[in-house]
C-alpha cells in the first residue's frame, strides 16, 4: 500500500509540473519510476498507459471544439498505431542498457527542444509520404522507449514548416493510437499490476487538471519550461551515470 501511495505522489507531482509547462509527463515518469525500483519495461508500460489516458481527454476536448484537422492527423495516427507495437515487441530483444542509453539521448533531445527550440518555419514539404514515413519511424522508436512520440514528432513537424498550433492539436489525437497499441504489446509479455496502472493514470489525469488550473494564475510558463528542460537533462545524466 505504501508503494502505491509513493507512486501516486510521484506521478501527481510530475504531471502537475509538466502540465504547468504544457508538456506531457510520461517522458520523465518512465525513468523516474525505474529509479524508484520499478521494472524498466513495466515503467514503460505505465508511461504508455498514462499517455493514453491524458491525451484521450485532450482529444475529446479538441473534437468538441472542432479544431482537429483529421486529414492532417489521420495518416500519422494509422502509421503510429501500426509501428509502435513493433518497437514495443523488439524491446524484448534489445539489451536494456542500450534502450536506456537511447532514452537518455531522447531526454537530452526533448530537453534541448524545450530550452532552445524555436517555432518559426524553416522550410515546407508537401509530399504525401511525409506523414506515413514519419509516423512509422517515430512509432517504432516510441514503442521501444515506451513514450508517446509527441516529443519527437512535434519539433520535427514544426521544423518541416507545419503550423505549431495545428501540430499540437493533432498530437493529442495521434498519440493514443501509438501508446495504447504499444501498451497492449508490453502487456502481452510482462506482468502487469493493474492496480498500479489505474493509480498512476488517475494521478496523471488529476495532475494535468491541477497544472492547467494553476496556469490560469498567470505563472511564467517560460521559466517553468526551463525547469522542465533542466530536469530532463538531470534525469538523462542520472540514467547514463547508472549505466557506467
Return the CA Rg of the chain.
17
Q: For every one of its 244 residues, what pLDDT tens digit does the chain have, with 9 covering 90 and above?
A: 788 999 999 999 998 888 776 667 888 999 999 999 999 999 999 999 998 888 887 777 777 777 788 888 888 889 999 999 999 999 989 999 999 999 999 899 888 887 887 655 544 555 567 778 888 999 999 999 998 777 778 777 777 777 777 787 888 788 888 899 999 999 999 999 999 999 999 999 898 888 877 766 666 667 777 888 888 899 999 888 887 6
Q: Count up the domains in the chain and report the number.
A: 1
Whether residue 125 contacts residue 156, with contact meaning beta carbons closer than 8 Å, is answered with: no
Whether residue 138 contacts residue 153, with contact meaning beta carbons closer than 8 Å, is answered with: yes
Question: Which grid cell is 244?
Answer: 557506467
User: Which helix (H) or strand (E) is 184 found in, with range?
Assistant: helix 164-187
pTM, entire model: 0.86
Q: How far apart are the first and last CA of the chain?
A: 33
Which residue range(s) make up the domain with 165?
Answer: 2-243
Instruction: Please count the CA atoms within 13 angstroms of the CA of 76 that sit on its side-chain side.
Output: 28
Amino acid at each position: 500500500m505504501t508503494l502505491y501511495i509513493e507512486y501516486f505522489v510521484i506521478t501527481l507531482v510530475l504531471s502537475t509540473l509538466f502540465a504547468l509547462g504544457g508538456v506531457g509527463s510520461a517522458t520523465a515518469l518512465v525513468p523516474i519510476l525505474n529509479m524508484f525500483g520499478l521494472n524498466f519495461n513495466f515503467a514503460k508500460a505505465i508511461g504508455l498507459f498514462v499517455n493514453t489516458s491524458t491525451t484521450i481527454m485532450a482529444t475529446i476536448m479538441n473534437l468538441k471544439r472542432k479544431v482537429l484537422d483529421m486529414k492532417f492527423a489521420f495518416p500519422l495516427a494509422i502509421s503510429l498505431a501500426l509501428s509502435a507495437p513493433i518497437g514495443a515487441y523488439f524491446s524484448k530483444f534489445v539489451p536494456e542498457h542500450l534502450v536506456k542509453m537511447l532514452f537518455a539521448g531522447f531526454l537530452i533531445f526533448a530537453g534541448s527542444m524545450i530550452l532552445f527550440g524555436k517555432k518559426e518555419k524553416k522550410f515546407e514539404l508537401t509530399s504525401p509520404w511525409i506523414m506515413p514515413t514519419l509516423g512509422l519511424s517515430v512509432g517504432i522508436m516510441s514503442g521501444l522507449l515506451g513514450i508517446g512520440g509527441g516529443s519527437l514528432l512535434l519539433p520535427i513537424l514544426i521544423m518541416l514548416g507545419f503550423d505549431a498550433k495545428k501540430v499540437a492539436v493533432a498530437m493529442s489525437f495521434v498519440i493514443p493510437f501509438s501508446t495504447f497499441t504499444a501498451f497492449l504489446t508490453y502487456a502481452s509479455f510482462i506482468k502487469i499490476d493493474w492496480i498500479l496502472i489505474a493509480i498512476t493514470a488517475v494521478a496523471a489525469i488529476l495532475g494535468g487538471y491541477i497544472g492547467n488550473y494553476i496556469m490560469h494564475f498567470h505563472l511564467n510558463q517560460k521559466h517553468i519550461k526551463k525547469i522542465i528542460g533542466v530536469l530532463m537533462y538531470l534525469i538523462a545524466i542520472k540514467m547514463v551515470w547508472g549505466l557506467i
